Amino acid sequence: MKEKRSKCLFAIIFILFSVTIGTISQASEIDFSVKAILPENQRSKEISYFDLRVVPGKTQTISVELTNETEEEVVVYASANSAITNDNGIVDYSYKDTKKDSSAVFAFSEIAKIPKEIILPKKSNKIIDCVIEIPQDAFDGYVLGGLYFEQKENEEEKSQGALAVGNRFSYVVGVLLSETDKEVKPELALNKVKTTQINGNNAVIMNIQNKKTAMIKTLQMDAKLYYEDEAKPRYENHQESLTMAPNTNFNYKIDLKDQPFVAGDYTVKIKANDGYKDWTWEKTFKIKEKEAKKFNATAINLPPEQKNQFPWTLIIGISAGILAVILGIIYYFNQKMKKEQKIQQEKYEELQKSMDKPKE
Per-domain boundaries in the chain: 2-178, 188-307, 311-352
Spatial contact of 122 and 75, defined as CB atoms under 8 Å apart: no
Spatial contact of 188 and 65, defined as CB atoms under 8 Å apart: no
**What percentage of residues in the chain have a pLDDT greater than 90?**
66
Considering Cα of 19, then 22, then 25, then 29, what sign does the dihedral take? negative
Does pLDDT of 353 surpass 80? Answer: no
Mean pLDDT of 234-250: 97
Does pLDDT of 359 surpass 80? Answer: no
Query: pLDDT digit string (tens) for 40-55?
Result: 999 998 999 999 999 9
Dist CA 173 CA 17 (whole Å): 8
Dist CA 106 CA 103 (whole Å): 9
Q: Quick one: pLDDT band at residue 254, thresholds 50, 70, 90?
A: very high
Spatial contact of 146 and 93, defined as CB atoms under 8 Å apart: yes
* pLDDT attached to residue 157: 53
Which ranges of the chain does DSSP label H, i.e. alpha helix?
A: 2-17, 108-111, 155-160, 289-298, 304-307, 312-356
- Is the domain spanning 188-307 CATH 2.60.40.10? The answer is yes
Mean pLDDT of 171-198: 96
CATH number, domain 2-178: 2.60.40.10
CB-based contacts of 173, cutoff 8 Å, min separation 6: 18, 34, 36, 48, 49, 50, 64, 146, 147, 149
Tally the C-alpha atoms within 13 A of residue 126's C-alpha that lie toward its C-beta: 18
Give the chain's largest Cα–Cα span. Answer: 143
Q: Quick one: pLDDT band at residue 21, thresholds 50, 70, 90?
A: very low
Residue 192 in 3-state DSSP? strand
Question: In CATH terms, are 2-178 and 188-307 the same topology?
Answer: yes
Does pLDDT of 131 surpass 50? Answer: yes
Cα Rg, the chain, nearest whole Å: 34
Dist CA 286 CA 263 (whole Å): 8
Does pLDDT of 9 surpass 60? Answer: no
Mean pLDDT of 205-234: 96
DSSP 1-51: -HHHHHHHHHHHHHHHHSS-BS--S-GGG---EEEEE--TTBS-TTSSSEE
Dist CA 14 CA 215 (whole Å): 12
Within a 10 A sphere around the Cβ of 81, how many other Cβ atoms? 24
User: What global pTM score does this model have?
Assistant: 0.75
Could you tell me how many residues make up the chain? Answer: 360
- Greater model confidence, 187 or 311: 187
Q: Quick one: pLDDT band at residue 242, thresholds 50, 70, 90?
A: very high
Query: pLDDT digit string (tens) for 68-77?
Result: 999 999 999 9
Mean pLDDT of 260-276: 96
Does pLDDT of 275 surpass 50? Answer: yes
Give the residue among 140, 227, 226, 229 at the shortest CA–CA distance from 177. 140
